[in-house]
Amino acid sequence: MTTSKSLLALAALAAAISAAPTAAHHSFAMFDQNKTVTLKGQVAEFQWTNPHAFIELNVPNGQGSTDRWSIELNSPNNLTRQGWRRSSLKPGDTVTITLNPLRNGKKGGLFNKVVLPNGTVLGDGRPADSGGKPINVPTAN
């Protein structure tokens, strides 16, 4: 019995250690997934990086200048399985992006989908109706 208890304890310890990297992944609580914002702007940079890709988007703010939005996407590995490529977005592309905004009001959010200049739609892999509920949020032109 002592040997089986030791093996059980060792297995539990191994399971806890293997789960540690998962626990280190950040939460998505900083995004308001009950709100959806749609932005039209020009890609400044597409960062194809781990653990998450990012789109840096220049969005006209209606006051004659632009605001820089930082939009977080999935990992490049997952994006590739969803039809994305490192070359899917290029600086200067004018795109329309739907996202869940940051709760703190800063210019950023969690990516839902993008409409490319040629009309192609790339999403985040979720079914179209599983994202945040659209609300009456002003859309940047």
Residue 3 — pLDDT band, cuts 50, 70, 90?
Answer: low
85-115 per-residue burial string, b: 16 or more CB within 10 A, e: under 16: eeebbeeebebbbbbbbbeeeebbbbbbbbb
pTM for the full predicted model = 0.71
**Spans of all domains in the chain:** 37-123
* Lowest mean pLDDT, pick from 26-35, 54-63, 78-87: 26-35
Look up residue 117 and give its two tokens: 């200049």
Residue 133 — pLDDT band, cuts 50, 70, 90?
Answer: very low
pLDDT at 126: 63
What CATH architecture is 37-123? Answer: Beta Barrel (2.40)
For 31-64, the pLDDT digits (tens) are: 998 999 999 999 999 999 999 999 999 999 989 9
Mean pLDDT of all residues in 10-20: 46
pLDDT at 27: 67
